[in-house]
Every structure is written in structure tokens, then in C-alpha cells.
Chain A
Amino acid sequence: MTYAPQTPSESAYNFAYLDEQTKRMIRRALLKGIAIPGYQVPFASREMPMPYGWGTGGVQVTASIIGKDDCLKMIDQGSDDTTNAVSLRGFFKKTAGVATTFETADASIIQTRHRIPEKPLREDQVIVFQVPIPEPLRFLEPRETETRKMHGLEDYGLMHVKLYEDIAKNGHIATTYAYPVKVNGRYVMDPSPTPKFDNPKIDRMPALQLYGAGREQRVYAVPPYTDVKSLDFEDYPFEVQSFDKPCGLCSAEGVYLDEVILDDHGGRMFVCSDTNHCEERRAQGLTGPMAAAPTAAQLSDGNEPKPETRT
């Protein structure tokens, strides 16, 4: 007996991998999410050819909305060329053959993990977030049956108690990323594990925000220009991280920076987390104090592939 399977070719897969029925099912869930901003809509998430936790929710959302004329930007940790961003961009290049870009301004769809680009997004753009745990109340109450009830009853006391206890214990709200927000005055939502630095960007953002959690089988959305308020107290207002130094490469201030360890005796520098933003500024001739330092050479040029242009 022979078991060797017939080998279907890769072209046997549909445009953007998912079949049209599945895409339609996901788009219906997204429309419901847009109609009820911040509400987590259950959807029949599919197994994808990358593992759960690698962005299967974001990939399914992008696959459902992408068309042949779209231009896709894929980032992870703010960077276009981190390994998983490369891998997911390659997936859509292969299965959808769409144009891809590193330029925030050129993209019609931006799929992201953990960051929002520094450049303000426009009405004609969509940002897709990869979400690991969509439920902002999950770490306070592990049961889905309970948290759904709490959302239904708008019972968010537990969350406020948690934030209050943080302040009582530490003097600060000890949540630095995935900082909970209230959307349109109704649902408390997890903005995905972006640093709270990015929270002000999703308030009244002109672009449509779509959030996909594949393993947890949820999508949710924030329509353009929707109020998104980070939870806080009158005497402890929400505040974002601030960095006391500018970007070491492009001297940008008021942006989110990554700390890069340069040696094993305390040498470090801070550089833009949004690599495209940093490159643009350097192309304009803006340089930071470390731009010419030999220890930072790998960051400022050399290894980075040239930014792609729209094809």
C-alpha cells in the first residue's frame, strides 16, 4: 500500500489564503465590532499556517479585508524587519501578491504587533492589531462566562479597584502596556500590548482600528474618530512614558524609544522603536548624538535592507 499523498501546489490556495466564505464570516464579525466599538465579537477563528501567538488574529483580519490594490505595511515592535514582521509580510506577498511597503504614509493597511507608528494615520488607512488576550478583565477574572457578564452589566469596578490598589501599593498604576481604555464611553477594551505611550494615538484616530485575537477567537474594532479614554483617577491622571534623552540616531523627541545595550559594562543608547520614522528623519539629515558612534554602526546602516518602495 502506498500512502504518499497527492501534492497540491501552493497556487491551490485562495487569494490571501482564506476561502471567501471564511473571509465573509470574519468581515461580518468585524462589521458587528465596528457597530459596537470596543465590544469583543466571537468568531470562528481558523487554524493558520503560522502558530497561535504569532499573529493569527491579525493575519485573519488582514486577509479578510485586503484587496489586490492594497499596499501593506507589516510591523512588529515598531520595526518592519523584525523576524516575524518579515515572515508575515512574506506570507501576504506570497498568498495575495499585494504591494508592500515600509513607508507608513504609503500603506493602506498596517498590521502591527505592540506598536502604533509615530506618523499620524489618515482616514484612508486601516490599522490591524495582533491581540494575544483580548479580554482586559482576564487577569482579574479568569472565567470568560464571568467577564462577559461584567461587560454586559458595565461592571468595571474590579478594574478600578486594581488600579487603585496599584497606586496604594506602588504610588503608580503599575500597568505599562496593554493599558485598559474605555471606548465610546461604554466598553472597557484592551488596546493590545502596545505600550501605554501609544494610547493617546487611538483616541479619535482618523484611521479605522481593527483588532484580531485568533487563539481566543475574538475580533473588535474602534471606528474612526471614536473617543478612547485611558482609565485613570482625577487625582492620578493617565500619563505616558517620557524619555529624558532623544533618539540616539535621529534625535527625535516625544517618540517611543528602545533601549539598546551596546556592551557588557553599562553602555547603552536609546533609539526610535519606529524604525521607518527614524530612517525618514535621518534621510532628512537629522542625526542624533550616537549616529556616528562605531558601536551603533549596526543600527544606523549596514545590516538594514534598503526600504522597499511601492511596486
Chain B
Amino acid sequence: MYVAVKGGEEAISNAHQLLAKRRRGDTSVPALTVDQIAEQLSLAVARVMGEGSLYDEGLAALAIKQARGDLIEAAFLMRAYRTTLPRLGYSQPLDTGRMYIERRISATYKDLPGGQVLGPTFDYSHRLLDFALAADAEGLPEAVARRVSTPASMPRVTDLLGDEGLIEPDPARSADAAVSDLTREPLSFPADRDLRLQNLARGDEGFLLALAYSSQRGYARTHPFTGEIRYGAVEVEFFAEELGFAITLGTIKVTECQMVNQFSGSAKAAPTFTRGYGLVFGQVERKAMAMSMVDRAMRWEELGEELTAPVQDHEFVLSHSDNIQATGFVEHLKLPHYVDFQAELDLIRKLRAEWLEAQGAVDPANGKKEAAE
């Protein structure tokens, strides 16, 4: 009915009320608390913080509750909130070498300085539904003994390889070089690696996962090895001009993935291993790994490789990685478009009339259709 687009004010207000009711669900079931979400759905919280580009577990939990568990909607709520926050400055680079490690694994070495620390992972659990969790009285988990004491400083695998010159060095950082920030400047091309990494860190987990997967299946293969994944808390430091030294603002939990990739050398570079890098908020390993693979694939030009696949294409990847943008533009198609559709109706009726007329004028001798005009 036409009223669907008229009298919008009342319809919107009613829709909001119904949404609030549906969000709450059956009121005989206790309402979720933000603390429960933050504590017990922490991987969802981490994803929302990452794609929402704002590290705040409480706000992310609130966003998940408000979004009825729709994580992209929750990330959108975070983005819309963060955009109103004042920008005080930029922190010092994180030192992930000084991470308080909760998990650290390497697939390239059996053992290494600092050791393999399995930590909390689904990796070796059998995916059998645990019906005990559905029972009302879920007991307290058993205390976990910390069997290894991780050293305060744990060398990165890439540093160990670097000592031998087997892996390309990290690019030297010049102290005065400003870091790009696509929340302050519009995305433009060519996009340097700092900008690309920022874009990927905010990008959609599913999109990066599919791109990384495509590279494994032969669309610009990069022969990756997981040099190291580490997850834990790192300090965020801020250099206070007034004080003249850096102060610690707090700690955040991050997952870092260093992918080690084969590289046989080219006209531009000697054979070495090459790096792909991923860093995300929280324990979001799938995305950290995918990010590091996409990062490596996008470095084709500096390494003298050929551009053959979507995962390498800066403009393609960076322009479509943001799920807030993507969901907005895809979903905006449900807004009224009847004015444009009217214009199309008018044209298609005209074209059809002309086509049918031309069909009627078919010359039976050779069956050839006359031109429309």
C-alpha cells in the first residue's frame, strides 16, 4: 500500500517500539547484562571493538546488546560513537615484544626462546556441543595451573630469522614520518602500507578471510607460514609534551600475527623470506592471520611480483573492506527509489513499444528486422 511511504513519522516511532520489544524478547527470561556480554561473549566483543575501531569492552558489550547480537550493527554503533570523541593525540608505537603473553605459538619452529604457549584456544577441542553448558547450573571452571612462566620479554620469531638475514628487515621508521590516518584523511591511492594496514585492521573479518583463502587456493599465492601468533596485553604509552616523557595510559589486549612467506627473489630483491603482518584488538586470530596474508599479497609491487588476483589489488581490497560502508550501501537499496524507478518505467515502456512495433514490421522475405529508428 502507498501508505508504506507516507505518514512516516508514526511508522518510524511504532517500528522503534516494536524493535525495543523484540530486542528484549520474552520478559520471563532475565535480561542480559552488559557485564555478562563483556565477560562471556568476549570474542564477539573483540570483533566489535576491532571493526568498530574503538577499544572499549563495556561500550562494545552495550552495542552488542543494543544490536540484538548483530555484530556489524554493533560495530556501526561503536563507529558512530567514536567519531564524536575528541582526538587528543597519537600513542607511541606498541611494543608487542613486551606483551604480557597469554598465548604464543609458532608453526615454523618446534621450540623457540620463550616457548610455545597454547593458551585459551579452540584449536584442539572437538566440536561437540557441550550440553552441560545448557544446564542451568554451570559449575565454576577448574582452576588452571600456569605451568610456564613466560619471560617479560619474548623475542619475535621474525627477529630470530632477521638475525640470520633470512627475512627482510622491518622497514626503518623515521622518527618524523607521520603515520597515515584514514579517519582524518580520505582514502586515496596509491595507498602506503601504513594506510593499508589501518584499513585492514578495521576491515570486515569475513571479507579478509575470503581474500586470504583465495590466495591459498592459487589466486596470487604467497606460500605463507605462521611465523608466530601472540595474544596478550600490551601497554599503550603516550608521549606527554608537558612532561617530556611517555606515560602509560593503560593496557589493551591484542593478537599479533607475523606471517613468513617464501620469496625466491626478483630483479629487485635477493631471496629472503618476506613478511605479512596482522594486528587486531582482542583474541581474533582468524582475522589477524587473514590480515597478514592479505597484507603480504598487497605488497606485490615492491617485491617485483605480478598483479594477477583480487587480493593484491589495493583499490579493490581497500575500497570494499569496510563493512560499515558496505552494509550501508547494500542495504540502502531498501530505501524508496520510486522516482528513479518511474524514470526507468517510462524508458522501458518506450523501448518495448518501439521493439514490438519493429517486430510487426518484419520483412517475411528475409526475416530481417528493421532498425528501431
Contact = CB atoms under 8 A, between A and B. Distances in A.
Contacts of B88: none
Interface centre among A115, A144, A145, A176 (most CB of B within 10 A): A176
B8 A177 contact: no
Interface residues of B, number: 64
B347 interface: yes
A173 B337 CA distance: 21
B174 interface: no
A147 to B, nearest CB: 11
Given A176-B344, A298-B2, A47 B327 contact: no
Nearest to A84: B335
A86 B335 CA distance: 13
Interface stretch (B19-27, B165-173, B182-190, B244-252): B182-190
A301 to B, nearest CB: 11
B12 interface: yes
Interface string B324-362: 110111111101111110111111001100100000000
Contact of A53 (B61, B82, B331, B344): B331
B193 to A, nearest CB: 17
Nearest to B38: A3
Main secondary structure of the interface of A (DSSP, over half): loop
B79 A83 contact: no
Interface stretch (B51-59, B91-99, B127-135, B267-275): B51-59
Contacts of B342: 195, 256-259, 273
A81 interface: yes
Contacts of B7: 81, 303-305
A172 B351 contact: yes
Contacts of B345: 259
Main secondary structure of the interface of B (DSSP, over half): helix
A44 B185 contact: yes
A45 B3 contact: no
Interface in A178-222: 178, 193-197, 215, 217-218
Given A82-B5, A145-B315, A47 B332 contact: no
Interface in A1-44: 1-5, 13-14, 17, 19, 42-44
Nearest to A296: B2
B343 A51 contact: no
Nearest to B332: A53
B231 interface: no
A16 to B, nearest CB: 12
Interface string A164-175: 000000111010
Nearest to A113: B335
Contact of A51 (B12, B190, B332, B354): B332
B83 A47 contact: yes
A79 B3 contact: no
Contacts of A79: 5-6
A170 B188 CA distance: 37
B180 to A, nearest CB: 12
A215 B330 CA distance: 12
B258 to A, nearest CB: 30
B343 A54 contact: no
A292 interface: no
Contacts of A76: 335-336
Contacts of A113: 335
Contact of B58 (A3, A42, A215): A3
B17 interface: no
Contacts of A218: 186
A273 B2 contact: no
B137 interface: no
Contacts of B332: 51-54, 132
A285 interface: no
A200 to B, nearest CB: 15
B14 to A, nearest CB: 11
Contacts of B328: 51-54, 56, 215
A42 B340 CA distance: 27
B42 to A, nearest CB: 10
A142 to B, nearest CB: 8
Given A47-B324, A53-B331, A299-B2, A4 B8 contact: no
A144 B319 contact: yes
B9 A305 contact: yes
A195 B325 contact: no
Contact of A82 (B8, B76, B315): B8
Contacts of B61: 3
B6 A177 contact: no
A44 B183 contact: yes
Interface in A258-288: 258-260, 273
B373 interface: yes
Given A46-B83, A52-B328, 9 more contacts: A76-B336, A81-B7, A132-B329, A171-B354, A176-B340, A176-B343, A193-B337, A215-B328, A260-B2
24 contacts: A3-B61, A4-B33, A42-B188, A44-B183, A47-B76, A49-B80, A53-B331, A76-B335, A77-B5, A79-B6, A83-B335, A87-B12, A132-B332, A145-B190, A170-B372, A177-B344, A193-B337, A195-B342, A197-B343, A256-B339, A258-B338, A273-B342, A305-B7, A305-B9
